[in-house]
Structure 1
Amino acid sequence: MRGFLVTSAVTACAATLTLPVLGAPGAVSAPARPAAAPPKAPGAAPVRAPAAVPAKIPGATYSLPLVPLPTAEGGGAATPGRAQAESAGTGIRGLRPQRVKPFSMVGIVWDDAGAELRGRAQVRTRAVGARTWSGWQDVQVQDHDRPDVDGSEARSGLRGATAPLWVGASDAIEVRVRPGAAAGRPAGSATLPRGLRAELVDPGSAPARPRSRAAAPAPDDEERATSAVNAPLAPLGAHEIPAATHRPTAEEVATLTAVAPGASVSTSTTRDGRDGTGGTGGTGDRFGAEEDASAAEGQGSEGTDPGDASDASTGASAGTSADTSGESGETSEAGVNGENGPADAAADDDTDTGAVYAGHAGPRPRIVTRAGWGADESMRERGFVYTKKVKAAFVHHTASGNGYTCAQSPSVIRGIYRYHVVSSGWRDIGYNFLIDKCGTVYEGRAGGVAKPVKGAHTLGFNTNSMGIAVLGTYGTTSPAKAAVNAVAALTAWKLGLYNANPRGTTTLVSGGGNLFKKGAKVKLKVISGHRDGYSTECPGDRLYAKLGTARSTAARLQGR
């Protein structure tokens, strides 16, 4: 992993804080100057300089160590006993109200990726140009969208991290983190992980779309490589891959899914027990039954789809326990979520993704490329890492809040990308795809949208799967119908390339976690929620409740 050195000064009231070394961002480039007009010949008509393509404004990351706070409210004098507790890591830590350089996303990281932050983290911010502060907002402290800890991304630079929170353009912040005791331990034993610091992310801006190909700047080597793996879906440097109206042929699928000879293919899994507790061995079934979002209290905000009553079932995160005898416990999907009838019984068989393409891939949706959302390719680690196939899709929410507009989606994604790479130490953004509330699909981790790119999205199940993250937080807010439809369209296409039935099940080998031990053969739905592979609230109850609809729609788009 490359080093990234971030140094900045932050003014706090009348004092100046010098930010610590985090690692080095790309150098800030000066805005491009318009090309000079050639000299005008006597009597000739005026010659206009060619229109300049607006330069991309690089982003930045500011890292602020969290300091002991005297009381839970951040005021008052510290007592000797409290000071001793703070030095032991049991006190409250945070940042006092202070002005900072402009940022739009915030998260909290710590030194040991294997340690968990138990407690509550909150931030409040002040918008650029405003005089009043926002209310306190919770930062999701448990974020298990992460790389496998003994895979190619597991290295000394990997850090523990909360989910990032999108707060919009801000120039002042206050942070407080209260420790919480682990289950079964006394409250006084609560500690916080070492090296806590707030990461303030300025996502920068993407270059404007050039009016003509001649006006587009020449891509550098990494940009060229990132774009080239999407051929023949789009030309080099394209900002989007257009939607297709037909299902791909077998010849097209063979070309699109082929991995270049000599490419890095990963088959590794995670170390047992590094991040998990109480994992179960053997073979397991994780059918994660859905609940009807409309039956929950309140209807959520935008995007509520009252027509999803068919998604009702017996529990939001229920699943049969792992069979420690080593034999797979067969459970009919039709009896778990009420989604499938007797005609769908065959869909419960393990999906065969190794056979010749069966012609079931749905039409490809429009996909905004990394160039389209403005990825800085110099920031990530070079090269691409692949697995052998794509047998399942794990659906996530980013837990970054719902206070973004669709026009801001590229900025949110650039912020998540920077947070994953610079702040958390990953090789690239973790998700293979991202979807906003308007249903726009974005290319995530580099390597080719049709290829089996290994992501960092579901600890223990990153191999032979893909991660799809819906921008937002969907615990109590229902996802927009457009976003659910986009999940269905994307999975119908991508899973179909590998003969995966969206209404079926498949078996993945666990890399280790808090539900399944390393090596356990786990039966999962082909379209699963993050919580089906790891004990987490992700993708939120309301989005999880819509997965039955996504499965049915995806299967229909595949012609099943």
Structure 2
Amino acid sequence: MRGFLASSIGVTCAAALALPLTLPSSGARAATQDAHPPAVRSAESVPGSTQSLPLTPLGSDRSLGGASSEQGLLRREVRPFSLVGVVWDDPDDELHGSVQVRTRASGTGTWSSWQQVETHNHEHAADPGSEERASGKVRGSTAPLWVGDSDGVEIRVRGEAPRHRASAGSPAEQALPSGLRLELVDPGAEPPPQGSTPEKPRTPALTAETAASSAVNADLAPLGAAAIPALSKKETESDLIAARGGPDEAAGKARPYVGPRPRIITRNGWGANEKLRERQFGYSKTVKAAFVHHSATGNNYRCSQAGSVLRSIYRYHVKSSGWRDFGYNFAVDKCGNIYEGRAGGVAKPVLGAHTLGFNTNSMGIAVLGSFGYSSPPAAAVNAVARLTAWKLGLYGANPRGKTYLKSGGGNLYKKGRNVRLHVISGHRDGFATECPGSRLYSKLGKARSTSARYQGR
């Protein structure tokens, strides 16, 4: 494997990307960050913004303060935003009830109908007891909802008794979590145009944070590249054999079951602001399984807007929910484009915050959209198959097989239990949730068989 040294920004970023046999061990941190970060970072230098508005009691609950069962905000004009969500103080509290929002399209005066925000109650999060979970920054949060360019908002949140506690004697309403706030996220401007070759670096001068995020992919694409190019199956196999045994031993190695590497749009390609995330990278030991999610952000986006959707989710995960970075390892849009998610290297076992209890030794893939009632496009399902065929293949995993993961704690499996799961699982297989939506979940069998076929099984 070849090494890489980045010195054009006045700092040294070591980027020795090693494939499965020499990847960082569990809990390891990659020392690829700049040693001298800027002392002061002005708000103007950070693209995008977040408005955080406290909710207040509505209707007859106005005199009850924080213990009310219905809170919200009446119609109001606000600064431009494109994504909404609700957060609260204690990440262990659950919001049982409904969250509805309507928005005004920027510059039109036209208000949308009421839209439902998914109250997914911490199933997308870092594992209990993990460093990320124990940071003191994490908040409870709903799923984010993409609403497009907007400058007005109205919201209502109503508490309801949890379904599993409902009985003839139980209250119909329940007090809401404390500290409810409406988060309005502006994704910021699109990155500058790329030119005709998207795999080329975006700019000759990168910030230290962007260089560090890019350097961990240095064996796959040039520093600052907007995309990691696709490889044929033969090229992918040759690279993997050489990485495991070196050129002198490659001829004697068995052909690995690995799919062709798909084209992956990098964090630099979708415009991630690397100053938002925590500076260090976190890793597991391996990748034994992939959990498929839907982002629950709705389906009203164009594929040309996917970068804006990702930047909005990223900001919501970090600034609003208190996570260390984007939660998922990868994202896929409705057109089948694949995006790098949490920083640390697309070929490495980066520790995500996607499936509470099962983040270790797994990866999370979020298909952008909501698929409880809408069917996922075939291009998106195929992209999941292509991505898993490559990434799982690097670690010797059979997409049609099953594996064991140890639970870190959740609402389906107690902490410490070894659970047998599909190598390609849906989020609901590890946690009691609707995610990834019944329509996407029903497509996972096809994704498994297609992924295995790409691997040559």
TM-score (norm 1): 0.69
> Is contact 2:201-2:223 (8 Å) kept?
no
Question: For 2:225, which of 235, 238, 241 is the aligned residue?
Answer: 238
Pair 1:149-2:128 in alignment: yes
Which residue matches 1:414? 311
Pair 1:28-2:7 in alignment: no
> Is contact 2:202-2:225 (8 Å) kept?
no
- The whole-number CA distance in structure 2 between the counterparts of 1:509 and 1:433 is 22
What's the secondary structure of 2:191's corresponding residue?
A: coil
> Is contact 1:98-1:172 (8 Å) kept?
yes
Amino acid paired to 2:233: H
Which residue matches 2:58? 69
Which residue matches 1:515? 412
Which residue matches 2:99? 121
Question: For 1:168, which of 148, 165, 174 is the aligned residue?
Answer: 148
- The whole-number CA distance in structure 2 between the counterparts of 1:215 and 1:401 is 30
Question: Judging changes above 3 Å, is the alpha-carbon distance between structure 1 residues 215 and 543 closer, same or farther for their aligned structure 2 residues?
Answer: closer
> Is contact 1:250-1:357 (8 Å) kept?
no
Which residue matches 1:222? 209
Amino acid paired to 1:473: S
Deviation at residue 254 of structure 1 after TM alignment = 7.3
Question: For 1:451, which of 330, 348, 361 is the aligned residue?
Answer: 348
- The whole-number CA distance in structure 2 between the counterparts of 1:391 and 1:217 is 37
- The whole-number CA distance in structure 2 between the counterparts of 1:513 and 1:145 is 11
Which residue matches 1:425? 322
- Greater share of residues in helix: 2
User: Where does 1:327-346 land on structure 2 (aligned, <5 Å)?
Assistant: none
Amino acid paired to 2:455: Q
User: Where does 1:436-515 land on structure 2 (aligned, <5 Å)?
Assistant: 436-515=333-412
Question: Judging changes above 3 Å, is the alpha-carbon distance between structure 1 residues 189 and 214 closer, same or farther for their aligned structure 2 residues?
Answer: closer
Question: Judging changes above 3 Å, is the alpha-carbon distance between structure 1 residues 358 and 153 closer, same or farther for their aligned structure 2 residues?
Answer: farther
Deviation at residue 63 of structure 1 after TM alignment = 0.1
> Is contact 2:66-2:178 (8 Å) kept?
no
Question: For 2:240, which of 252, 256, 277 is the aligned residue?
Answer: 252
Question: Judging changes above 3 Å, is the alpha-carbon distance between structure 1 residues 210 and 476 closer, same or farther for their aligned structure 2 residues?
Answer: closer
- The whole-number CA distance in structure 2 between the counterparts of 1:60 and 1:254 is 45
Deviation at residue 507 of structure 1 after TM alignment = 0.2
What's the secondary structure of 1:453's corresponding residue?
A: coil
Structure of greater Rg: 1
Amino acid paired to 2:58: L
- The whole-number CA distance in structure 1 between the counterparts of 2:201 and 2:370 is 41
What's the secondary structure of 2:380's corresponding residue?
A: helix
> Is contact 2:287-2:362 (8 Å) kept?
yes
Deviation at residue 171 of structure 1 after TM alignment = 0.0
> Is contact 1:103-1:170 (8 Å) kept?
yes
- The whole-number CA distance in structure 2 between the counterparts of 1:381 and 1:492 is 30
> Is contact 1:501-1:526 (8 Å) kept?
yes
Amino acid paired to 1:58: P
Question: Judging changes above 3 Å, is the alpha-carbon distance between structure 1 residues 357 and 235 closer, same or farther for their aligned structure 2 residues?
Answer: farther
Structure 1 stretches lacking a partner, 5+ long: 1-23, 30-56, 71-77, 257-355
> Is contact 1:434-1:470 (8 Å) kept?
yes
CA shift digits 1:464-501 (9 cap, x unpaired): 00000000000010000000000000000000000000
Deviation at residue 105 of structure 1 after TM alignment = 0.1
Amino acid paired to 2:142: T
CA shift digits 1:139-169 (9 cap, x unpaired): 0011411111311202211000000000000
Question: Judging changes above 3 Å, is the alpha-carbon distance between structure 1 residues 88 and 101 closer, same or farther for their aligned structure 2 residues?
Answer: closer
User: How many pairs are equivalent?
Assistant: 400
- The whole-number CA distance in structure 2 between the counterparts of 1:111 and 1:254 is 50
Amino acid paired to 1:246: K
Question: Judging changes above 3 Å, is the alpha-carbon distance between structure 1 residues 138 and 526 closer, same or farther for their aligned structure 2 residues?
Answer: same
- The whole-number CA distance in structure 1 between the counterparts of 2:150 and 2:105 is 4
CA shift digits 1:71-91 (9 cap, x unpaired): xxxxxxx4xxx445x335233
> Is contact 2:69-2:173 (8 Å) kept?
no
Pair 1:363-2:260 in alignment: yes
> Is contact 1:390-1:466 (8 Å) kept?
yes
> Is contact 2:159-2:173 (8 Å) kept?
no
Question: Judging changes above 3 Å, is the alpha-carbon distance between structure 1 residues 254 and 199 closer, same or farther for their aligned structure 2 residues?
Answer: farther
- The whole-number CA distance in structure 1 between the counterparts of 2:139 and 2:83 is 18
- The whole-number CA distance in structure 1 between the counterparts of 2:180 and 2:111 is 24
TM-score (norm 2): 0.84
What's the secondary structure of 1:222's corresponding residue?
A: helix
> Is contact 2:201-2:226 (8 Å) kept?
no
Runs of 4+ in 1 over 6 A off after TM superposition: 212-215
- The whole-number CA distance in structure 2 between the counterparts of 1:64 and 1:232 is 44
Question: For 2:187, which of 203, 212, 221 is the aligned residue?
Answer: 203
Deviation at residue 207 of structure 1 after TM alignment = 2.1
Q: What percentage of aligned pairs have identical amino acids?
A: 60
Which residue matches 1:48? none
- The whole-number CA distance in structure 1 between the counterparts of 2:186 and 2:241 is 39
User: Where does 1:299-310 land on structure 2 (aligned, <5 Å)?
Assistant: none
- The whole-number CA distance in structure 2 between the counterparts of 1:241 and 1:558 is 19
